[in-house]
Amino acid sequence: MTVAEFVLPQAKEHNRTSVNRWILTHTLDHLWIVLMTLVGAFGNAALASAVPLLLGQAFDVVIAAQDVNQGLMRIAVLIVVTQGIRGVLQLGRNFGADILGQRLERNIREELYLSLLGKSMTFHNLQPVGETMARATNDVREIGLMFNPGFNLVIGSANFILLPLIIAPSIYPTLIAIPILFTVSYVMAIWAYLKELRPVAEDARKAFGIMNAHLSEAIDGIEVVKGHAQEDQEVERFTSNAASYRAAFVRQGDIEARFIPLLLLGLAEAGAFLQSVILFQQGILELGDVVAFMGLIQLFAFPTFVSLFAFSQVSLGMAGARRILDLINQRTELDRNPDGHAAPMRGEIEFRDVSFSYGGGKGALQELSFRLRPGQTMAIVGQTGTGKTTLAKLINRIYEVGSGQVFVDDVDVRDWDLASLRAQISIIEQDLFLFSRSIADNIAFGRRGATQEEIEQAAIEAQAHQFILGFKDGYETVVGERGMTLSGGQRQRLALARAFLTDPRILILDDSTSSIDSATEDEIQRAIFRAAEGRTTVIITHRLSQIRWADLILLLRHGKVAALGTHEKLMEVSPAYQQIFSQLGD
């Protein structure tokens, strides 16, 4: 069972032990569609084989010269009727395969999306966004195409191979020899083709993911690219990635060019004609039998011609499925613990000998211990890289402690229901994320169903109401991606409004006023004071006013507690704090 932060509700748990079992269990969810497709495929092939048999009878009728008109009319009617029914069955096969492909594409995309939401920040910090998007879009689409036209044509062609093996012996037993030889040779050729094609198809999917990841990275960092005049270098990099993607498809084309079933079909036609003519000369077969048998051999043309495309599409789809399942099966470091502690939070925080490191490297935090009472405010200060943000993210289990314990309300955070823990803790970071939605939707993001009055009241408390009304569409104004159409101060106040609306018991402010001017800071400061009332507040800051205001100050140095206490106490006993405070004052 894959560990995940959140296991969101799904209609059914699918077998993820191998890609074949995973695809099969998804397919069996729609068994009636599978049956409709199989029946349509077999009926289509069976009625297609009726045409050469009826044409053979027509030749015999003409040669016999008895009741020719009546006999030919009867055969013509049978051909029309059988091919009409065949058309309906073929429609059912195509419709079923397309519905099946679309449903699996939808369900797998949903399963992948739920899996991504359930994974920890450690996973997402290491996984390129563009690569993830390539798997969630293009690779999932390849699975849909694998079923239609991929498997649709494969199943149809399999029946077109099966029918001559069944019908040819009914004309004359030895006529099964050529169909058997062709089938065995065809299967061997397909096996070798797929074995050679699989790694190339996987390379193509991997190359596409790399190209997409770099493209997403360049677009996301377009301001940096332009600011450093690196457009030419990024174009060169993208061209190189695109060339690698193209090279994979060129290798695939080379494999397809050496595909031999077309040669096998020609040999089968020649061998069948030679055998049937010899039997005709010996008086064993009638002319109509020769025509019917050659017509049956022509049924092999369909699987021969479509196999080049169909099996290539299946191979690409399976390569995409492997990449998706690999992403889904990647384990995270955290689990939701849905049966854990879930209760209204008082807001007490305690660290007991907590240590943490990234990826087994040097410890970012080492043996931290402190206690913050409900309703108190703590300021965390220290130089860049001392672990201030890491400390904050241990409180709501964005990261898991390496050793020691973090307690909230005297309960180890690992014993909390993760959803309940995080629902009562709000983090406002310096690099805020706003969605490309209306301002109202962004404020209400953490609380579904909030009324317009509640949204506006939260904005008023966060000192955001006035600037929101200054927009033409007010609260319905749609902000750009990541809120880039707003100023830093405006984004900060919207984040505070979001926190007010969710009413967290613990509020964490991560250097949230470091990049704004003094006038804006005053407005945000008032909002922060209001937000801290009745809440346990952790402030990561370099602002003197916020440091002095705190009930408790924690000074970090090289991931360790260098000083802990009130401002007055630390000014008396801590030279390190005195030095930092004097630098901030400068």
Residue closest to 468 by CA, chosen among 490, 499, 484: 490
118-148: per-residue pLDDT in tens? Answer: 777 767 777 777 778 778 888 888 898 899 8
Helix/strand/coil for 391: helix
Go through the domains of the chain in sequence order and give each one's CATH number: 19-329 (1.20.1560.10), 349-585 (3.40.50.300)
Sheet holding 403-408, edge to edge: 363-372, 349-357, 403-408, 411-412
Cis before 149 (ω within 30): yes
**DSSP bridge pairs for 368:** 354
* Nearest residue to 477 via CA among 434, 417, 533: 434
Torsion of CA 260, 266, 267, 269, to 10 degrees: 140
Q: What is the pLDDT of residue 173?
A: 93
Neighbour count for residue 148 (Cβ, 10 Å):
23
Residue 552 β-bridge partners: 378
Could you tell me if 349 and 536 are in contact, meaning their C-beta atoms sit under 8 angstroms apart? yes
- Closest among 399, 402, 420 to 411, alpha carbons compared: 420
Sheet holding 425-429, edge to edge: 425-429, 506-510, 536-540, 377-381, 552-557, 560-565
Q: What is the tens place of the pLDDT at every residue in 214-265?
A: 777 777 777 677 766 777 887 888 888 888 888 887 887 787 777 778 888 8
| 8 Å CB contact between 318 and 19 | yes
CB under 8 Å to 196, separation ≥6 — which residues? 255
Low-confidence ranges of the chain (pLDDT < 50): 1-2, 11, 515, 586
Per the structure block, which two tokens stand in for 391? Answer: 């400390």
Handedness of CA 214, 217, 223, 227 (dihedral sign): negative
Tokens of residue 228, six digits: 């450093």
- Phi-psi map region of 511: left, alpha, beta (phi>0 left; psi -120 to 50 alpha): left
Q: Output the pLDDT for position 524.
A: 66
Q: DSSP readout, 440-461?
A: HHHHTTTSTT--HHHHHHHHHH
Question: What's the confidence (pLDDT) of residue 586?
Answer: 45
* 554 backbone dihedrals φ, ψ, rounded to 5°: -115, 120
